[in-house]
Amino acid sequence: MSRNPKFYNTRIIETPTYIEYYEYEYPIFSKKTDENSSSKLEWLNDDTKKKNFDELGTKEQYGSLKRKQKHYEAMRWEIARIVDCNFDKATKFVTLTFQANVTDVEFSNTEFKKFIQRLNRQLAKKSQRARYLATWEKQKRGAIHYHVIFFSLEYIKKSELEKIWRNGFVQINKVDVDSKENRGRYLSKYFAKDLDIKEHKKKAFFKSQNLKTPIVRKITTSQPYDFSDKNIIYSKNYTHKVLDFKGSDSENCIFKEGTVHYTKILRQ
């Protein structure tokens, strides 16, 4: 078994509550391990300037939306993991609402960024810094508001937070879930809303750089894992597309379908 190989067939993700195993039928090429080497696979690095969404044709736009939708759906899993890694008794769920009917995402994102900067200046007085995950959501009338998960945020008055926000109303809720197993799933559901709107916007999700992240290991092994003594809470098989190195060349990328066996176990 080798760790951090150029190719891997098993990916393991660990959080305080879960361990997840992805076992791949075909080895996956690890770009990160090859980025500083001269390889016959250098043609995989596409330096062509990417077109923006409006420059794409109808078929290309559809493909772009489908890829981004998959990306954001996968992010919900990642968000649940980050919640699990950072959750504590001082975790709070905050909704930021504009008093005016703000519908411009670029403008609202700028205001959110300014809010975080002002909040950090306030917290710096206590030698603290905001630790958060955030996303925007649109109401039916088009008005934008923000859902923010703050970790390790000690008591702060609603009126004080509204002064820092400066744009309208603030709602603060303590996160109260029935078990630690459900907290990531409960909070991440807010990040899966409005995916069809968010897909072609510049910035849909925000997170601070001071968050704890899951442990991720990519390994190559010839033996499948034995889960007989593990507390398996979920498992499934699904297919995904992988690059067919034998059939691909510098002109064409050929893909084939491979099976992935996914297993999620609860830590003892």
pLDDT single digits (tens) 104-115: 999 999 999 999
Has residue 238 been placed in a domain?
no
Residue 74 confidence class, pLDDT cut points 50, 70, 90: confident
* Residue of 134, 130, 136 lying closest to 211 (CA atoms): 130
Q: What is the CATH number of the domain that holds 175?
A: 3.30.70.1910
pLDDT at 75: 77
Has residue 189 been placed in a domain?
yes
Residue 220 confidence class, pLDDT cut points 50, 70, 90: very high
Has residue 113 been placed in a domain?
yes
Question: How many whole angstroms separate alpha carbon 153 and alpha carbon 91?
Answer: 6
What DSSP designation does 112 have?
H
In the numeric block, the tokens 């504590």 are attached to 88
- What is the domain count for the chain? 1
Has residue 161 been placed in a domain?
yes
Has residue 14 been placed in a domain?
no
Has residue 70 been placed in a domain?
no
Has residue 41 been placed in a domain?
no
User: Is the model's pLDDT at 186 over the cut of 60?
Assistant: yes
In the numeric block, the tokens 């002002």 are attached to 118
User: Is the model's pLDDT at 230 over the cut of 70?
Assistant: yes
Q: What is the pTM of this model?
A: 0.78
Has residue 129 been placed in a domain?
yes
Domain range for residue 100?
84-207
User: Is the model's pLDDT at 44 over the cut of 60?
Assistant: no
What letter represents residue 96's amino acid?
L
Query: In the predicted model, what is the mean pLDDT of residues 211-231?
Result: 93
pLDDT at 254: 83
The more confidently predicted of residues 78 and 56 is 78
Tokens for 96?
A: 């930021």
Least confident span in 1-5, 154-158, 180-184: 1-5
Question: How many whole angstroms separate alpha carbon 79 and alpha carbon 138?
Answer: 20
**Whole-number percent of the chain with pLDDT over 90:** 52
Question: How many whole angstroms separate alpha carbon 72 and alpha carbon 68?
Answer: 6
